[in-house]
Amino acid sequence: MSPTDQKSRPRSGTDDLPPEIDIEDEAAEEIVEPAGPDVAFTAVDWTSHAGDADGMVGAEVIQTLVKRLPNAPGVYRMMNASGDVLYVGKARSLKKRVTNYAQGRFHTQRIGRMVRETATMEFVVTRTEIEALLLEANLIKRLRPRFNVLMRDDKSFPYILLTGDHVSPGIYKHRGARSRKGDYFGPFASAGAVGRTINSLQRAFLLRSCTNSFYENRTRPCLLYQIKRCAGPCTGEISHEGYAELVDEAKDFLSGRSQKVKTEISAAMQQASQDLDFERAAIYRDRLAALSHVQSHQGINPQTVDEADVFAIHQEGGQICIQVFFFRTGQNWGNRAYFPKADPALEGAEVLGSFLAQFYDDKPTPRAILLSHAVEEQELLAEALSTRAGRKVAISVPQRGEKKDLTDNALQNAREALGRRLAETSTQARLLAGFAETFGLEKPPVRIEVYDNSHIMGTNAVGALVVAGPEGFVKNQYRKFNIRSTEITPGDDFGMMREVMERRFSRLLKEHGDVAPGEAVAAQADGGVEDDISGSFPAWPDVILIDGGQGQMTAVRKILGDLGIEDRVVAIGIAKGQDRDAGRERFFVKGRDSFSLPVRDPVLYFVQRLRDEVHRFAIGSHRARRKKEMVKSPLDEIGGIGPGRKRALLLHFGTAKAVSRAAIEDLRKVDGISEQMAKLVYNHFHES
């Protein structure tokens, strides 16, 4: 790009920054068949078999199934008497694999316990073992069986998107399905890594990050133009041709041709300097500095690896860490640590193989996958991933050279990440033990629930629940409660907490009424293996913390008493102390006078952390609900008007207010609006 295309005169005014786009398009979770050029199933329905005799479980029920099974590849599910899926597996021969379970001789406690709990099995036959492997990974991720190796973090990865559907392409963070036209670069390890890279790329290439509607309605450049983060194509500060050159340079840089881009910019800077155009030379200088900043934050940039994911696994202290590094276009785009749930007795090769199949179930596969350890059925896995990707995918364990250095670096990061996690777990265990001693509990709590409310003068009221356990906050257990009752006086915190408690524990009694608190983790406390292999987390809390004083606690204890569970859960109130200063909190526990803790007590810091987290979650939930209410349209209240018809009406009439004033004849002129639908819309706004 030539900066001479830009107007150099200063512009007055500092408009607000344009809204940035974070494109999210998360597909609904559902069980889907693996896709690929040659993937098809000979059977799409599960064949279900149970024991012939009432109450038959374990090896006996499995023995009754063997003679009915084909000697063909497929996937099987083992379920208990309640219908919960215990295990999902694939087999080259269903008959031979199930025969192994039916013999009753097991090498590990995990398999023995899994078989003893099996009351039903279901099967699906596939054409090939590759199809079975892909389907198995898909089902494990969605059903999360207790006895399989499970990924704990299954978030999709963020990408950088350079749009291709606008005359002036923008640069955005993107997550989810690639439904928008443009060029995608990634994956990046985290949203933070994408944000930092986009900020640097904006300084280097001056690309816009505003929405198309913001772009179309500009009459003068925004603040990003003033601070040299955007070339200002919206108001003609740069020609379309000049902006297109910037976009091409950005694509070259993100595609791995960074040295070419830097050489061209450097040459342009030298030329501008020779022409005594020092202002233009300064622009090129700043762009070069921004590019250097991007590359300096990418860590290792290999010379011989263009596109690869690097995996390394480390086991210690009964836990597992898998470190993943992403290399694209010869650049390091970040790393992420995973801590899968698996039986500690499993070998690293088995864990890593199962992890890889799940990891790539819904993610693009690179051309090369480098591993620190060989995995079971490595060739089969490579063939399956190649089938899914539609091109060759190579899986290897490097023995020398730069690739070996990459896997060694990943392995070192895995060791360090697991060491930090073990240290954090140890600290958390000491805090829970101190918590139990401080509040007179019989044993350290396994599940702590913390509650709070958030509202503004009673509007958009939200109740929040956060959960903490031996490994810290358990975010997949967080819940929010939109306050529904119309009988609660706006701003009545007692009434809101009463509704939250009733809804939470009524549902808990309905779904888990027969499970005593702590029962799910009893085996772990006694040194057993149940929790280690199943990764279960108790549904019932040992302790609930309420952000409030004696009044709140009276209301909560009454609810627990009415439900008959007052003795099953320990309720503790946390009241802000004198002058609402942190460190002067008062605690309310049944059977004891209210008390405070020493200012430097670690347990006090622990409780403050819990309270701050529930505050954060409650306020965030309230703000999200308030924002949704602010942008709510009257058209949303009309039954039968979905996003498509709503869009058509707004495009035709401009505003919802104009729609409300339209006659039936005018409404019928809108594409997709029938006479019946036009009457429905008209009657909604003209009830009389």
Residue 469: strand pairing partners: 472
Task: Looking at the structure, tell me whether residues 256 and 360 fall in a common domain.
Answer: no
> Half-sphere exposure (CA, 13 Å, Cβ side) for 298?
23
List, in order, residues 6 or more apart from 151 with CB less than 8 Å away: 141, 338, 340, 355, 358, 359
With respect to residue 41, please indicate whether it lies within any of the assigned structural domains: no
Task: Looking at the structure, tell me whether residues 638 and 622 fall in a common domain.
Answer: no
Task: Looking at the structure, tell me whether residues 509 and 599 fall in a common domain.
Answer: yes
Task: Looking at the structure, tell me whether residues 674 and 617 fall in a common domain.
Answer: no
Contact 577, 585 (CB under 8 A): yes
With respect to residue 144, please indicate whether it lies within any of the assigned structural domains: no
Contact 555, 497 (CB under 8 A): yes
Q: Are strands 85-91 and 74-79 parallel, antiparallel or unpaired?
A: antiparallel
With respect to residue 186, please indicate whether it lies within any of the assigned structural domains: yes
Give me the pLDDT at residue 549, please: 81
Last residue of a domain, one of 232, 259, 293: 293
Task: Looking at the structure, tell me whether residues 270 and 192 fall in a common domain.
Answer: yes
Q: Give the relative orientation of helices 94-102 and 59-66 as an angle to the nearest 10 degrees.
A: 150
**What burial class does residue 601 get, using C-beta atoms within 10 Å of its C-beta: 0-12 exposed, 13-18 middle, 19+ buried?**
middle
Q: Which residue positions in the chain have pLDDT lower than 50?
A: 1-16, 22-44, 50-53, 517-535
Last residue of a domain, one of 293, 325, 355: 293
How would you write 169-206 as a 3-class SS string? CEEEEEEECCCCCEEEECCCCCHHHHHHHHHHHHHHHC
Give 422-441 as a DSSP string: HHHHHHHHHHHHHHHHHTT-
Contact 108, 343 (CB under 8 A): yes
Task: Looking at the structure, tell me whether residues 364 and 456 fall in a common domain.
Answer: no
Asked if omega into 187 is within 30° of 0 (cis), the reply is yes
**Residue 305 CA: distances (Å) to CA of 187, 309, 367, 429, 556:** 16, 10, 10, 42, 60
Report H helices in 209-323: 212-216, 223-226, 240-254, 258-274, 278-296
Q: How many domains does the chain have?
A: 5
Q: What is the CATH number of the domain that holds 654?
A: 1.10.150.20
Give me the pLDDT at residue 33, please: 42
Task: Looking at the structure, tell me whether residues 465 and 589 fall in a common domain.
Answer: yes
Task: Looking at the structure, tell me whether residues 395 and 249 fall in a common domain.
Answer: no
Task: Looking at the structure, tell me whether residues 474 and 613 fall in a common domain.
Answer: yes
Last residue of a domain, one of 265, 293, 321: 293
Task: Looking at the structure, tell me whether residues 527 and 674 fall in a common domain.
Answer: no
Q: What is the CATH number of the domain that holds 345?
A: 3.30.420.340
Q: What is the CATH number of the domain that holds 119?
A: 3.40.1440.10
With respect to residue 38, please indicate whether it lies within any of the assigned structural domains: no
**Residue 541 corresponds to which tokens in the numbers above?**
């809390």
Give me the pLDDT at residue 455, please: 72
Contact 333, 187 (CB under 8 A): yes
Give 582-593 as a DSSP string: TT--EEEETTS-
Give me the pLDDT at residue 40, please: 39
| Domain extent at residue 518 | 439-626
With respect to residue 140, please indicate whether it lies within any of the assigned structural domains: no
With respect to residue 248, please indicate whether it lies within any of the assigned structural domains: yes
Task: Looking at the structure, tell me whether residues 172 and 283 fall in a common domain.
Answer: yes
Task: Looking at the structure, tell me whether residues 388 and 467 fall in a common domain.
Answer: no
**Residue 240 CA: distances (Å) to CA of 5, 203, 210, 281:** 9, 19, 17, 22
CA 585 to CA 538: how far, in whole Å? 29
**Residue 399 corresponds to which tokens in the numbers above?**
């023995």
Among candidate residues 74, 72, 66, the one with its CA nearest the CA of residue 45: 74
With respect to residue 29, please indicate whether it lies within any of the assigned structural domains: no
Question: What is the biggest distance separating any 2 CA atoms in the chain, rounded to whole angstroms?
Answer: 94
**Residue 495 corresponds to which tokens in the numbers above?**
């009434």
CA 488 to CA 483: how far, in whole Å? 9
With respect to residue 424, please indicate whether it lies within any of the assigned structural domains: no
